[in-house]
Amino acid sequence: MTDTLERATERAPRSLPVPRDPRTPYRAGSWAVILGVLVVLHLLAFQATDFRPEKLVSGATGMWNFLSEAIPPDLSGDVVRAGLEGALTTLWVGLLGTTVSVPFALLLAVFAARTTAPNAVVYQVARGILSFFRAVPDIVFALIFVTAVGLGPFAGVLALICHNTGVMGKLWSEAMEDVDPGPEQALRTAGASRWQVVANATIPGVLPQLTGLLLYRFDVNVRSSLVLGLVGAGGIGLLINKSIKTFQFDEMMTYLIIILIVIVLVDLASAWIRKRLQ
């Protein structure tokens, strides 16, 4: 019995030591360099932005005075009525800035996707246009259009159309590149044209993703339209800017509460629609 156990033990595989990865010291050195670079960059950023948390402590008195003037909010009828009208204008600006940009974003997305672009030249041109619209902030577009068409929500709508075309076109083109190629190949084999493939295979295959991204951009644009109002593009942002300049902080607080309610309602509606699309 003992001999049998000894022979079985001798035949059992012996555990060998795990060899050390020769790249481990290199990886450790690389992470050390990356960490050092990040520390230096943050130190430079703190210095360039004059980042001093102690200023919050020294400015506590001013913040307390501001809050004491803003609370309680002014809930008089005229202020609430003006806030509701401004919030609706902000909502309409965000809605039009999203929906009107859909055809432009969809066309550029088709040309900017590798799987649907006719050739490399069209692909690069479309990507360049999307990059330009995406790179220029919507508030810069708003300042340009305020100069062109004057103060008011129309300038905000135009600004959002331009910026949203770039962002949404980029997101949609990436969704089209990730679509299942099976239906597209089947239609090409059957002799379908490029546009027939796009209309009957590509877009239907990514329609849920396109709709979800569209709703996401609508949420963002409603918030952006608030900021655009601060530069004269209408909506409740214009009222907030006016109340701040005239030191009517209680009115400003009322407008902030109203826009908060509107944004929460938009979020709930978008989440409800997304859930139905799944």
Distance CA 180, CA 176 (A): 9
Spell out the alpha helix ranges (H) of the chain. Answer: 2-11, 24-48, 54-58, 60-70, 77-99, 102-112, 120-135, 138-149, 153-177, 181-189, 194-197, 203-229, 236-245, 249-277
State the chain's mean pLDDT as an integer: 81
Q: What is the CA radius of gyration of the chain?
A: 29
Residues 6 or more apart from 114 whose CB is under 8 A from it?
123, 177
The reported pLDDT for the residue numbered 30 is 77
* Mean pLDDT value across residues 87-96: 90
| % the chain with pLDDT above 70 | 84
Per-residue confidence band for 6, with pLDDT thresholds at 50, 70 and 90: low
pLDDT tops 90 at residue 56? no
The reported pLDDT for the residue numbered 3 is 56
The reported pLDDT for the residue numbered 49 is 82
* Mean pLDDT value across residues 219-234: 83
pLDDT tops 90 at residue 29? no
Distance CA 124, CA 187 (A): 26
SS3 137: coil
Distance CA 169, CA 177 (A): 12
Per-residue confidence band for 162, with pLDDT thresholds at 50, 70 and 90: very high
Q: For residue range 172-210, list pLDDT tens digits in order.
A: 888 887 777 777 777 677 777 667 777 777 777 777 788
199-208, 215-224, 263-272 — which is least confidently predicted? 199-208
The reported pLDDT for the residue numbered 158 is 92
SS3 80: helix
Per-residue confidence band for 229, with pLDDT thresholds at 50, 70 and 90: confident
More confident residue, 65 or 163: 163
| % the chain with pLDDT above 90 | 13
